[in-house]
Amino acid sequence: MSPRLTRRQLFGSSALAATGLLATSGLDVGPASAAAVSTPFFHDHQAGIATPAQDHLVLATFDVGDATRAEVATVLDQWSTAAAEMTAGQPIGSTLPTSMPPADTGEALDLGPANLTMTIGFGDSFFSEQLANRADRPRGLVELPSFPGDQLDPVRSGGAIVLQACANDPQVAFHAVHTAKRLALGVLVPRAIQLGFGRTSATVDGQSSARNLLGFKDGTNNLRAQDAADMARYVWAGHEAGPAWMEGGTYLVNRRIRMRLELWGATSLEQQQAAVGRFRASGAPLSGTHEDDPVDLAATGLHAVPLIPVGAHIRVASPTANAGEKLLRRGFGFADGIDPVTGELDAGLVFLCFQRDPTAQFVAIQRRLSASDTLHRYLVHTASGLYAIPRGLEHGQGWGSQVLA
């Protein structure tokens, strides 16, 4: 277990409340105290990765347009100053009336920090001649290949900068991105915003599994922040990543995955469970009876048929099938209305995962899933992005001076 994470993030009263551990310790966490929960902004690693997953997401991307390096650095520094204020539940700047428009837009004034985290990342196009030395480009920032069945929307995909705002109150997360967009006015070009609700992954021990929009418990076999060895092996980048600011950073893959919910809803529970490899009600693997039972890929039933079918999602995504690789998943549900052509729901999973080597981890696993995962027949990937996530900031440091020094 990482001593820093233990001391400063996981077992501070705020993180305890967020993991639900306060409740089990007999302390009452009512709505008022839940709103007061905050996650520290300054830390070795950025918050919003290994910190307890919240309930709401606002994911925003920006392009750089023709802004200069100095202009972009100033905005990034303003963002991190604002992020430190907002994650502490403070308004931006003074709230006293003046003849100028108020610095803070006000929609989160009474809502408390609500466990807000703001996480920044940089896509390939950020490392252009215009801004950064090409040599500063993190080495894992490859171009993601296209996978069978992809139907990617170019606007929702990519982007030079990503901001992931997560909170337990949707308006607090919105306020964070609204503020960032305002501060970037005239310098950065807003590209896309994706809202997400209902975390689908537990990221720390003690956090229960939630259900995704297919109705299945998700995140059971996710990496857990308390497992320092797994975090070091699978999530945190080292000096191999290139620039010094990536040591302790990671890479984020974002996939907007639409679920074919009408087709899924017309599928028998037996077939649904065979596609996932787990029982819907309990979340147990088809080889066991309890959610936390180990996934036994070798277990067989009648006529030596594998209990977890050959095409089951948890078999094809398992470390056994993927050279031992794992991911830290931190996704959210989305529902963006009705497809005007088919009348079907445009809803699914904002699949977010963090890893130290996107090629060996996300790309390798997704190649297998898109080739042989039964669940893949019910999914359409509609947006994609890969971003380098810098290490956390020290007090007094800003995102601009960190990355564009």
Out of 222, 226, 254, 287, name the contact with ligand HEM by CB under 6 A. Answer: 222
CB of 219 to ligand HEM, least distance (A): 5
Q: Do 180 and 57 meet the contact criterion of CB atoms below 8 Å apart?
A: no
Closest by CA to 391, choosing from 295, 269, 250, 287, is 250
Toward ligand HEM, which CB reaches closer, 65 or 145? 145
Residue from 251, 351, 387, 399 binding ligand HEM (CB under 6 A):
351
Please select the residue that binds ligand HEM; options are 259, 261, 275, 350, rule is CB under 6 A: 259
Residue nearest to ligand HEM (CB): 221
Is residue 362 helix, strand or coil?
helix
Among residue numbers 193 through 212, which ones bind ligand HEM (CB under 6 A)?
Answer: 212
**CB-based contact 211:218 (threshold 8 Å):** yes
Evaluate whether 264 touches 378 at the Cβ level (below 8 Å). Answer: yes
Q: Which CA distances in Å does 173 have to 194, 233, 295?
A: 11, 30, 36
Q: Taking contact as CB under 6 A, which single stretch among the options 45-53, 106-114, 189-197, 309-317 is the one that binds ligand HEM?
A: 309-317
Contact 350, 197 (CB under 8 A): no
Residue 285 CB, nearest approach to ligand HEM (Å): 8
Name which of 51, 43, 17, 48 is nearest 31 in CA terms. 17
Nearer to ligand HEM, 126 or 354 (CB): 354
Token pair recorded at residue 283: 């979340």
CB-wise, 245 or 264, nearer to ligand HEM?
Answer: 264
Is residue 263 a contact partner of residue 292, using CB atoms and an 8 Å limit? no
Q: Is 369 in the site for ligand HEM (CB under 6 A)?
A: yes
Determine how many CB atoms are found less than 10 A away from the CB of residue 311. Answer: 16
When binding is defined by CB under 6 A, the residue of 89, 158, 170, 348 that contacts ligand HEM is: 348
Which parts of this chain interact with ligand HEM (CB under 6 A)? 212, 214, 216, 218-222, 255, 257, 259, 276, 278, 295, 313-314, 317-319, 327, 348-349, 351, 362, 365-366, 369, 379
